[in-house]
Structure 1
Amino acid sequence: MKSKILFIVDSSIDLSPELYKAYDFLIIPLNVTIDGKTYRDVPEELSNRKLFDIMDEKEVLPKTSAAAPASFLEAFKKAEKDGYEGIVIIGIGSTLSGTIQSAIVAIEMYEGPLDIRIVDSRNLSTGSGLIALYGADYAKKGYSLDEVVTYMESLVPRVRAQFIVDSLRVIYMGGRISSAKYLFGKILRAHPFIQVIDGKLEVTATPKGKLIRGLDHQFSVFEQDKARGILEDHVFITHADGEESAKYYYGKMKDMFPKGVLKVTEAGCVISAHSGRGTIGILYVMK
């Protein structure tokens, strides 16, 4: 039976086209501007590889921007026509983007019959995507909108979103580290390990040397969490043009879960713009 709850997500949740289709998510694209041109964050307009190529060629950093309220209003009207009774909006967290604020403005402007809720993921990339997927799974079981939202909110502090950054260049260009730290880190071949903690990006370790050291550090953190207990319906390896690293992780992890649980997906341009080529994460939810 089709759920009467529509899930509206933004393009930064970095799920695969197959998952978007299987879950019938309605996607609101965010925007990426680089070299004087603005693109919607959809692969048909700009892939992360093309974005990285422009960044390398022009030596410029992209700018990202939230979706406009009008995009949400259009989605609400479509949901009405399609016979939905309620909507859950879930995407990049309020501490990391203005997208939720755009959704709030749209809800205030909306005059239709739909019951519309927002779940603040306080996360990004497939960290937000995990909450959307588990929420949709819950809705398919027939739970009410109130129950679905309460369940999704209970997941927020339990999501583990973390990434190893291959290169410091984008972080430096974005002003998140000083020139001295950039040069020092470049000499030592530092690979920051970034975790999303209470809606903020925190560097919690800086493995040095070959990238494999960073990958193994992240994998060790994952193993410790798995031993404590994680939900095993959806586990993600998410990368920004880091296919070799993704293959490395998949080889280590594929026998840990039943078929279909472990998923490999690529970061879209919004996330890639702030992380750089080669960034890779392991994302999951604690029990």
Structure 2
Amino acid sequence: MPAIRISADSTCDLSPEQLARYDIGIIPLYVSLGEQSMRDGVDITAQDIYDYVDKTGKLPKTAAPSVADYLDFFRERQTSPETVLIHFTISSDFSSSYQNACIAAQEFENVSVVDSRNLSTGHGLAVIEAAVLAEQGVSAEQILAHEEKIIPRIRASFVVDRIDYLYKGGRCSGVAALGANLLKLKPCIEVVGGKMGVGKKYRGNVEKIFPVYAADRLAGKRMKRDLAFITHTGCSKETVAQVRQKMEELYKFDQIVETVAGSTITSHCGPKTLGVLFIEEE
């Protein structure tokens, strides 16, 4: 059976240990601070983004890898014509990454592109599912069929502390942003059907809200036990520990992995954003 290699856009927000463990290749999206364009996860940090927004009042701009970028990336990953590549992109509703990757893939044999219909470690969960199966010797056709079933069951959401990032990014109106700030509302942003929407709104100190939000997300659900994520932008160790404790109280996951969101996700959510992400059973 030919070798299968898994790769993803940088927006999957997987940990360095996971990327190394499964030899997952990463192609960075671009983040621009004014005229300066940098690569997500390579030469820009979250603090660079916070400083830029506070200084200019503007959000960074993000951009997908170009078709040429994907061509170079696939050539590097496909070490022989028989090597099968399966690449996962951020949801096609958020970026042109999927479109560009599909165009590039047409120039190769044995390259498949999967639209994760998600972002951050929601995207990452789809990637890990494929990487585990590839390691077990499952065929590419079976992996792709599995992803068709799994992707709709991935549950991704985040609670956002600073509504101004959503406002500047055009994801809420000025009136809504003003009202949220006055009432100290912290919205839960959910990914449903590849798109972002606003779910429950919490009120108060965001660090006290996070464990409550985690409990709400797990309530009444039956999850795949093997893996769940806590993904955040610069939350304290104490806050993450409280969320982890709440999750462990409510459900026996085999593994709860903490990751820090990359620059692309940070650009749209801002500091002190935290999400609980998992796969729901059928």
**Does the CA-based 8 Å contact 1:12-1:268 persist in structure 2?**
yes
Instruction: Rate the CA distance shift 1:258–1:200 in 2: closer, same or farther, 3 A.
Output: closer
Query: Which has the larger displacement, 236-245 or 194-203?
Result: 236-245
- Of the three residues 82, 86, 104, the one matched with 1:88 is 86
Which residue is equivalent to 1:23?
22
| Helix, strand or coil at the partner of 1:206 | strand
- Of the three residues 262, 265, 269, the one matched with 1:271 is 265
> Does 1:283 find its partner at 2:281?
no
Residue 157 of structure 1, CA deviation? 0.7
Give the CA RMSD over aligned residues. Answer: 1.9
Residue 156 of structure 1, CA deviation? 0.8
Residue 17 of structure 1, CA deviation? 1.1
Residue 143 of structure 1, CA deviation? 1.2
Which residue is equivalent to 2:47?
49
**Does the CA-based 8 Å contact 1:35-1:58 persist in structure 2?**
no
Task: Give the distance between the partners of 2:87 and 2:117, measured in 1 at CA.
Answer: 13
Task: Give the distance between the partners of 1:183 and 1:47, measured in 2 at CA.
Answer: 28
Task: Give the distance between the partners of 1:281 and 1:29, measured in 2 at CA.
Answer: 22
Task: Give the distance between the partners of 1:219 and 1:79, measured in 2 at CA.
Answer: 37
Which residue is equivalent to 1:58?
56
| Helix, strand or coil at the partner of 1:142 | coil
Which residue is equivalent to 2:184?
189
**Does the CA-based 8 Å contact 1:30-1:66 persist in structure 2?**
yes
- Of the three residues 185, 195, 218, the one matched with 2:213 is 218
Task: Give the distance between the partners of 1:170 and 1:136, measured in 2 at CA.
Answer: 33
Which residue is equivalent to 2:242?
248
Residue type at the aligned position of 1:89? H
- Of the three residues 223, 229, 237, the one matched with 1:230 is 223
Which residue is equivalent to 1:5?
4
Which residue is equivalent to 1:155?
150
Q: Identical aligned pairs, as a percentage?
A: 31
Task: Name the TM-score, length of structure 1 as normaliser.
Answer: 0.91
Which residue is equivalent to 1:178?
173
| Helix, strand or coil at the partner of 2:86 | strand
**Does the CA-based 8 Å contact 1:245-1:280 persist in structure 2?**
no
| Helix, strand or coil at the partner of 2:78 | helix
Residue type at the aligned position of 2:111? I
**Does the CA-based 8 Å contact 1:3-1:142 persist in structure 2?**
no
Task: Give the distance between the partners of 1:214 and 1:233, measured in 2 at CA.
Answer: 26
Residue type at the aligned position of 1:247? A
Task: Give the distance between the partners of 1:36 and 1:171, measured in 2 at CA.
Answer: 22
**Does the CA-based 8 Å contact 2:105-2:113 persist in structure 1?**
no
| Helix, strand or coil at the partner of 2:218 | helix
**Does the CA-based 8 Å contact 1:119-1:153 persist in structure 2?**
no
Give runs of ≥4 in structure 1 deviating > 6 Å.
none
Task: Give the distance between the partners of 2:149 and 2:277, measured in 1 at CA.
Answer: 17
Residue 116 of structure 1, CA deviation? 1.3
Task: Name the TM-score, length of structure 2 as normaliser.
Answer: 0.93
Residue type at the aligned position of 2:266? S
Residue deviations 1:78-121 (CA, integer Å, cap 9, x gap): 2332675211110201111100011011022x1x4x31112211
**Does the CA-based 8 Å contact 2:214-2:246 persist in structure 1?**
no
Residue type at the aligned position of 1:6? R
Gaps of 5+ in 2: none
Task: Give the distance between the partners of 2:2 and 2:269, measured in 1 at CA.
Answer: 35
**Does the CA-based 8 Å contact 1:10-1:29 persist in structure 2?**
yes
| Helix, strand or coil at the partner of 2:185 | coil
Residue deviations 1:180-204 (CA, integer Å, cap 9, x gap): 2111111110100111011111101
Task: Give the distance between the partners of 1:139 and 1:85, measured in 2 at CA.
Answer: 12
